[in-house]
Structure 1
């Protein structure tokens, strides 16, 4: 394959991943209209399915689930180690909610998660009053900002794990689940941001950062997930 053909193929692959990630992003923007006190994890999982299908999603790569919706203290569950069963309990007027999407379109897989905050009955992407909510949102933003500062193509997954774990400790947060993983055609063979994983970020091509964290002594978990990739040596969010 010539350099031009290789470049065309890489651009087409990136377009495929961007298309499915944009469908996920659109869904998590639109779902805000349906989050309110009285709705349940089950309600929102079905609504996420409806919104993703309308955006062109044709399947779900993680356990065939349209969304991992966790509310209240369920936000601390480590789904990678536990079966996911959406709950019928209703959201309260002061509550926290995480939604993690894993859509696919024509074999290209996306991955996106956000935290939503309900304060005095109003859903917000950024909290304004609850101290634990504010601290959790700040910690998430800090970890993603740290990735932007330290990431380079030759950085290994286990090295990134050490950097992020140290930062989480400084932020007085505990890690509830894995920190992120590679994105690829075969999603059953992922590299994780974890100890002893020596592949580099550049070798992965596309990878996620999705720290699920809880403030030490806190009640709730917080998650924010993006897919990242390098253009040369510059890191970009997909």
Structure 2
């Protein structure tokens, strides 16, 4: 069941989204060669809690940390680790969620670590832009897969592939609500978009093939062919006058 949010709930979600966006800006400043992913996790948890929020991911289905840190070929759900030291040329996808006043915000970014290759930077840039191509279709009376098709079409036009096994989702009081939001598919399908829907739209784009697999820890997902992957996500409200990105700090 898709839960439609009223204006008061959207306002709560704006505040939660703002906290997530600000947390990611803090993490972006901290990402550099030599830092561990565990240190990044500590920065995020302290930043969120000091502002009255609660990290969404910590303890969620047993996840042990406050953010997901996925490096290079890791697609999503990487676990922060004191032994995982970032090095020059890496890319890191950080997925962050926060609960504030009972409502969720959820967003992800892929950051360069120091100087990275042109190939890696292009993957990051195209992944980000594919999100915005999808958001252009997040309009009242469009269909859900109009978003999906726009993301896939843009990413694949650069020769990249779109992860099939993990998708975006509705969001509200719960982190994962209906509907699922694929980043691929034919347009004109799925539920009609209506004002008050809130979606976490999150393209996960691979340099190589789209197939992924889970590591033995049961969480970390990697590309099967070992190629780089990038992730870009925001929480988006469908409103009468168009989409509003709740987790993007201008």
Fold conserved between structures, TM > 0.5: yes
Residues 103-154 of structure 1: per-residue CA shift (max 9 Å, x gap): 111210000111110234xxxxxxxx62112211231233123124333222
The answer to whether the 8 A contact 2:204-2:231 is kept is yes
- TM-score, normalised to structure 1's length? 0.79
Q: Give the Å deviation of 1:203.
A: 6.3
- Describe the shift of the 1:166–1:32 C-alpha distance in structure 2 as closer, same or farther (beyond 3 A): closer
- How many residues are matched? 216
1:135 aligns with 2:122: yes
The residue that corresponds to 1:209 in the other structure is 201
Q: Give the Å deviation of 1:36.
A: 1.9
- Describe the shift of the 1:15–1:142 C-alpha distance in structure 2 as closer, same or farther (beyond 3 A): same
Gaps of 5+ in 1: 1-8, 121-128
Picking from 116, 127, 151, the partner of 2:111 is: 116
Tell me how far apart the structure 2 counterparts of residues 58 and 215 of structure 1 sit (CA, whole Å): 34
Gaps of 5+ in 2: 210-225
Root mean square deviation of aligned Cα: 2.6
Picking from 190, 210, 221, the partner of 1:198 is: 190
- Describe the shift of the 1:91–1:108 C-alpha distance in structure 2 as closer, same or farther (beyond 3 A): same
- Describe the shift of the 1:182–1:189 C-alpha distance in structure 2 as closer, same or farther (beyond 3 A): closer
- Describe the shift of the 1:192–1:204 C-alpha distance in structure 2 as closer, same or farther (beyond 3 A): farther
- Describe the shift of the 1:33–1:166 C-alpha distance in structure 2 as closer, same or farther (beyond 3 A): closer
- Describe the shift of the 1:221–1:45 C-alpha distance in structure 2 as closer, same or farther (beyond 3 A): same
- Bigger helix fraction: 1
The residue that corresponds to 2:233 in the other structure is 225
The residue that corresponds to 1:236 in the other structure is 244
Picking from 21, 33, 57, the partner of 2:17 is: 21
Task: Please state whether the residue corresponding to 2:69 is helix, strand or coil.
Answer: strand
Picking from 40, 44, 47, the partner of 2:40 is: 44
- TM-score, normalised to structure 2's length? 0.75
1:168 aligns with 2:162: no
1:100 aligns with 2:95: yes
Tell me how far apart the structure 1 counterparts of residues 194 and 148 of structure 2 sit (CA, whole Å): 15
- Describe the shift of the 1:183–1:145 C-alpha distance in structure 2 as closer, same or farther (beyond 3 A): same
Tell me how far apart the structure 1 counterparts of residues 206 and 67 of structure 2 sit (CA, whole Å): 21
The answer to whether the 8 A contact 1:58-1:106 is kept is no
Please say which structure displays the higher CA radius of gyration.
Answer: 1
